[in-house]
Each structure stands twice: as structure tokens, then as C-alpha cells.
């Protein structure tokens, strides 16, 4: 298992157009804004090259594109809050079946959220492929944050902070 600090532009995130839990975003935003980012559980990521190697469908979708280094597999609200406050994202990276097993153990100990991890790393890459086959196109956390702001999904106070502070 590898622990990382990643910038929001290093992460490919889901293509959902709405926030599923504005309360979660508000909590993470405040933790990041007040300098308590270590209280935010790490997100789960997979190296882009690993995901593309393990999933022919995902590789086909990404053909000819320059993609960031990591796919986000879990943690959209946390990474959006990090982006809005100009912070790095704490992450744990999945590389192989051993790192996946370690992530499952971390979830059992309460160190990361009990995300529904696949039975093996190939299945985990398949989850990414399924999402991006249904919701075509790739975007970074920064791209998604801007899209959510334009759609009115982000509370105004957070947008003001993002635009004016913390840079």
C-alpha cells in the first residue's frame, strides 16, 4: 500500500453532474479550510497506467488522450473539498491484489471508508471501466469542481472561498 499526497489536477474523477451529499462536502470543506485535513480519511486511487493495463475497455476509451496520473475510485466529496480549499488530497493507491487486500484491512480497522472494493484488482479496474462506459469522458477533480460550481451545486460561500482565498 502506498500513501500519497495528490493535487486535484492529478486525479481523474467520476462524471456525475450533482453532489450526492452536500453535508459531507460541507464537513470536509471545513476540515480542509481550518487546517484539519489530517482528520479527513484518505481517498482510494489507482494509477492510470495500472487501470488501463487491467481494463481493455478503459484503455480503448482513453486511446489518444493525455490523462492524469491517477483514477479516483472513492472520495469525490473529499477531493472536491480539497480542491475548493486549495489543498492536497491524502490518498492510498491500489496497485495489485496485495494492496487491495491491505485497503480492505484498513477499512475493517476504520482507517479508510468501507468502500465496496472489488474481489481483486482486475474487478476494481472493471468498476472504473463500467462507470466511464456509462458516463463517457474523463475529467479531473478541478474540471468537475468547476462544472459543479457552474451548475449551482456548490454553496456560494465555498465558491467565494475557492475564488478568493487559500491560493
| Residue extents of the structural domains in the chain | 2-162
**pLDDT score recorded for residue 157:** 96
Q: In this predicted model, what pLDDT tens digit does every residue of 68-126 receive, in sequence order?
A: 999 999 899 999 999 999 999 999 999 999 999 999 999 999 888 877 788 999 999 99
Calculate what percentage of the chain has a pLDDT beyond 70. 99
Strand partners, 45: 72, 93
Flag whether pLDDT at 166 surpasses 90.
no
What integer pLDDT is reported at residue 16 of this predicted model? 82
State which H helix or E strand residue 4 sits in. Answer: strand 2-6
Average pLDDT over residues 21-27: 95
Nearest Cα to Cα of residue 93 among 49, 145, 60, 39 = 49
Report whether 106 contacts 60 (CB < 8 A). no
Average pLDDT for the chain:
92
- What is 73-107 written as a DSSP string? EE-HHHHHHHHHTT--EEEEEE-SHHHHHHHHHHH
**What is the Cα–Cα distance from 22 to 35, expressed in whole angstroms?**
20
Amino acid at each position: 500500500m502506498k500513501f500519497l499526497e495528490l493535487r486535484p489536477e492529478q486525479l481523474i474523477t467520476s462524471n456525475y453532474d450533482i453532489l450526492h451529499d452536500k453535508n459531507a462536502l460541507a464537513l470536509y470543506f471545513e476540515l480542509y479550510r481550518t487546517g484539519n485535513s489530517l482528520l479527513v480519511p484518505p481517498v482510494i486511487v489507482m494509477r492510470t497506467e495500472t487501470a488501463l493495463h487491467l481494463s481493455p475497455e478503459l484503455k480503448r476509451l482513453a486511446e489518444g488522450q493525455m490523462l492524469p496520473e491517477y483514477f479516483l475510485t472513492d472520495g469525490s466529496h473529499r477531493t472536491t473539498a480539497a480542491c475548493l480549499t486549495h489543498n492536497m488530497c491524502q490518498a492510498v493507491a491500489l496497485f495489485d491484489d496485495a494492496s487491495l487486500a491491505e485497503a480492505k484491512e484498513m477499512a475493517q480497522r476504520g482507517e479508510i471508508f468501507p468502500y465496496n472494493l472489488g474481489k481483486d484488482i482486475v474487478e476494481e479496474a472493471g468498476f472504473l471501466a463500467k462507470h466511464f462506459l456509462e458516463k463517457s469522458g474523463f475529467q479531473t477533480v478541478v474540471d468537475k469542481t468547476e462544472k459543479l460550481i457552474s451548475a449551482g451545486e456548490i454553496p456560494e460561500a465555498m465558491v467565494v472561498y475557492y475564488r478568493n482565498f487559500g491560493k
